[in-house]
Amino acid sequence: RHGYRGPEAQWQLPEILDDDQRQALAKKLEDIGRVGPWHPALVLTVEEKSFTALLATGQQTQLEWEQGLKGTVRYISEDRFTHPAENAGELVSPGDVVRLRISDGDTRQWLFSQVPDIQAALVSLEADSGALLSLVGGYDYQSSSFNRATQAKRQPGSNFKPFIYTAAMDNGFTPASIINDAPIVFDDDSLGGTWRPSNDSGTFNGPMRLRKALYLSRNLVSIRLLRELGIGTAIDYIGRFGFNTENLPRDLSLALGSHSLTPLEIVTGYAVFANGGFKVSPYLIERIIDANGDTVFRADPVTACRACEQQDDEPPLPPKAAESLEDMLASEGLQARRAKRVIGADVVFLMDSILRDVIKRGTGRRALVLERDDAAGKTGTTNGPVDAWFSGYSGGVVTSTWAGFDQNQKLGRREYGGSVALPMWIDHMRVATQNRPERHLEQPDNIVTVRIDPDSGQLAGPGQANAIFEYFRNDNAPTESYSQPGGGYEDFSDPVEIF
């Protein structure tokens, strides 16, 4: 999207290219090496709508205008690029070292391209057991063996908000609780002096329900929510998801995901939402068999079992997608150990409902192409933007994706978790959830559905046209109607709050 960055190098070409010189240049290209599908090539001649290049094999190829040149722009900065090139000379010059790749499909031909500068990571787990289904630590292992999925600690941004909201739901707040989305200023040395947090859009919507605030990812609501909840209360609760609470900041920036976590840590936390409230641990090796066929090692993970809670004895776990582990244990007369419930079924049900709204009507709407009603998740974008995230689940698979530059360069002002990380998540989940039925959490007995006024979060009035339905726990469902006709808060103009 951001344009061609220019050649990797510029070599001096001889006036007359004989066979020996051609082979010497080809050897230099071979020494540069391929990166993924991108092959090095040396531009020899440039015409108006084409150029000729030397490959590392010593062969020459001519790239026509339609082979990746048409429509290409030149990179200026993360927020600027040139007009589309009108001729090949605007893109390449003789002596340029560029990258080519082979096109997909039946018609195989070279295409003008470049090695991506940005990096990414993906981690995908079986939500019930923690079994790793896929782990991608970067673009190309040969060019960088650093594993960004397990080693890169990056700020999760709004990808962390669901953990704050979960703590709130378990401490008296509801999806209909009203929090003000308005400017706020903090004078706090722990936050670097004066702190003026804002929403990504730079706009403010006034009082709004927590459900809407999360699926629209409103930063100011998250900060006020954390302030009302209490930082200590939130941190203690967040520890249930497996995060090291000693590393979490004890200030309000926690609400915006200002601390650094790996994608593996994030996806492990989201597994709690995906499996109904149980803490599981990721594992990579299921078993090791020696040359004689004997099992010398087998995984013994704890496994989420929602059905087991309703029974007094210890029955075998119900069938799951990770049947290979179950079959292996059964063959040895064993059964999986139960995972510990860390979040109540009622609270998880509420959060799952909100996270599904992120995709149905919020910042994750692109995932609607999966056509799965059980798809849920959350985007994440940090200041800059520098880091882009999407974490979510469907069909018992939970996946986190991250993208960013190793050097913490800016992605560009129009790049967000929904535009950078979410497309990767969609491509993976389209394959990972094939042949997996949709999986929905059963509504707990203490969860009720109430018709409410969308502006106040209170009971809707008789015949109110804009009333909506919302889930509540029995003990904090609204009991009073909001008296203002047609709802309230229509002319929001609150001043900036200063603390």
The CA distance from 274 to 436, in Å, is: 14
495 vs 254, residue with greater confidence: 254
Q: What is the pLDDT of residues 296-306, one digit of tens each?
A: 999 999 999 88
Residues 63-75 have a mean pLDDT of: 96
Strand 50-55 relative to strand 39-46, pairing: antiparallel
Q: What is the pLDDT of residues 474-491, one digit of tens each?
A: 999 998 886 554 444 433
121 vs 323, residue with greater confidence: 121
pLDDT of residue 161: 97
The CA distance from 247 to 192, in Å, is: 18
| Phi, psi of 42, deg, nearest 5 | -115, 120
The whole-model pTM stands at 0.89
* pLDDT of 307 over the 90 cut: no
303 near 330, Cβ under 8 Å? no
pLDDT of residue 184: 87
Q: What is the pLDDT of residues 127-180, one digit of tens each?
A: 999 999 999 999 988 889 999 999 999 999 999 999 999 999 999 999 999 999
pLDDT of residue 305: 86
pLDDT more than 90, % of the chain: 80
Cis peptide bond N-terminal to 14, omega within 30: no
Q: Per-residue confidence at 85, pLDDT binned at 50, 70, 90?
A: very high
The CA distance from 162 to 146, in Å, is: 29
Calculate ∠ Cα 124-371-434, nearest 5°: 45
* pLDDT of 351 over the 60 cut: yes
Mean pLDDT of the chain: 90
pLDDT of residue 324: 53
Residues 231-246 have a mean pLDDT of: 96
The CA distance from 235 to 80, in Å, is: 40
In sequence order, the 6+-apart residues with CB closer than 8 A to the CB of 462 are: none
pLDDT more than 70, % of the chain: 90
Q: What is the pLDDT of residues 318-331, one digit of tens each?
A: 444 345 555 555 55
Burial class of 436 by CB neighbour count within 10 A (0 to 12, 13 to 18, 19+) = middle
Q: Per-residue confidence at 252, pLDDT binned at 50, 70, 90?
A: very high
**Which residues are registered as beta bridge partners of 194?**
187
pLDDT of residue 54: 97
Written in H, E and C, the secondary structure of the chain is CCCECCCCEECCCCCCCCHHHHHHHHHHHHHHCCECCEEEEEEEEECCCEEEEEECCCCEEEEECCCCCCCCCEEEECCEECCCCCCHHHCCCCCEEEEEEECCCCCCCEEEECCCCCEEEEEEEECCCCEEEEEECCCCCCCCCCCCCCCCCECCHHHHHHHHHHHHHCCCCCCCCEEEECCEEEEEHHHCEEECCCCCCCCCCEEEEHHHHHHCCCHHHHHHHHHHHCHHHHHHHHHHHCCCHHHCCCCHHHHHCCCCECHHHHHHHHHHHHCCCEECCCECCCEEECCCCCEEEECCCEECCCHHHHCCCCCCCCCCCCHHHHHHHHHCCCCCEECEECCCHHHHHHHHHHHHHHHHHCCCHHHHHHCCCCCEEEEEECCCCCEEEEEEEECCEEEEEEEECCCCCCCCCCCCHHHHCHHHHHHHHHHHCCCCCCCCCCCCCCEEEEEECCCCCCECCCCCCCCEEEEEEHHHCCCCECCCCCCCCCCCCCCCEEC
Q: What tokens appear for 18 in the block? A: 């004989």
pLDDT of residue 488: 44
Residues 173-197 have a mean pLDDT of: 84
421 vs 322, residue with greater confidence: 421
pLDDT of residue 313: 47
* pLDDT of 42 over the 50 cut: yes
